[in-house]
Amino acid sequence: MAKLYFYYASMNAGKSTNLLQADFNYRERGMATMLFTAAVDDRFSAGTIASRIGLSAAATMFDPTTDLAALALARHAATPLACVLVDEAQFLTATQVDQLAALADRAGIPVLAYGLRTDFRGALFDGSARLLALADSLVEIKSVCECGRKATMNLRVDAEGRPVAEGRQTEIGGNDRYVALCRRHFSAALGDP
């Protein structure tokens, strides 16, 4: 039976690197995969999943209107898919997560989704919340805070490196905009007691 997996972590934990490694493992064995990435993530070239260590692969872009199941099933009809991999899964809608669950349950295609659990305020993303509710397997990818503890929070910073506590939930950025911290240091950075 195919499963829906959710691999989650704070920023800079290696989620995209892990996804690209999983994709490579399937393809090395002659198995077809389909990769998705969020259209809103424009840090690299459009339609590319890229890791900070230099690995990259072409991917199909999705936005809130994309029917991921329809795209995957069309590809599967032409070339049987061994796996569907989704980067930036926090940007999925709840409906899209339901589509991915149906791919696993009805089409027998394993789905590996990689993304953030929470935003810069510590709130769940819609896609992440639905994945936490539906995924057959939840896997935390570990990252490290500056103090050595496990980093679970994503602190947004401005151009001068000062913490940002308000703003849109989605603001694309990397090390220039986000710092992965443990909960204690995240709270301290925002001035919480």
187 vs 167: CA distance, rounded Å: 17
Q: How confident is the model at residue 44 (pLDDT cuts 50, 70, 90)?
A: low
Of residues 8 and 54, more confidence is placed in 8
Residue 176 has pLDDT above 70, yes or no: no
Q: Is the pLDDT of residue 193 over 90?
A: no
Q: What is the pLDDT of residues 137-172, one digit of tens each?
A: 999 999 999 999 999 998 888 888 787 777 666 665
pLDDT value at residue 175:
57
Q: Which one has a higher pLDDT value, 82 or 154?
A: 82
| Plot region of 70 (φ>0 → left; ψ -120 to 50 → alpha; else → beta) | alpha
Q: What is the mean pLDDT of residues 17-40?
A: 95
pLDDT of res. 85: 98
88 noted as active-site residue: yes
pLDDT-derived band at 51 (thresholds 50, 70, 90) equals: confident
| Top CATH class, 4-141 | alpha beta
Please indicate whether residue 166 or residue 23 has the higher confidence score (pLDDT). 23
**Contact between residue 137 and residue 2 where contact means Cβ atoms under 8 Å apart:** no
Q: 118 pLDDT exceeds 60?
A: yes
Q: Is 89 annotated as a binding residue?
A: yes
Q: Looking at 88, 146, 166, 171, which residue is catalytic?
A: 88
Residue 16 annotated in ligand binding: yes
Residue pair 8/150 in contact (Cβ under 8 Å)? The answer is no
Cα 108 to chain centroid distance, Å, stands at 22
Q: Give the pLDDT band (50/70/90) at residue 3.
A: very high
Which amino acid, residue 37? T
Whole-number Å distance between alpha carbons of 104 and 131: 13
Annotated domain spans of the chain: 4-141
Tell me whether residue 76 is annotated as binding.
no
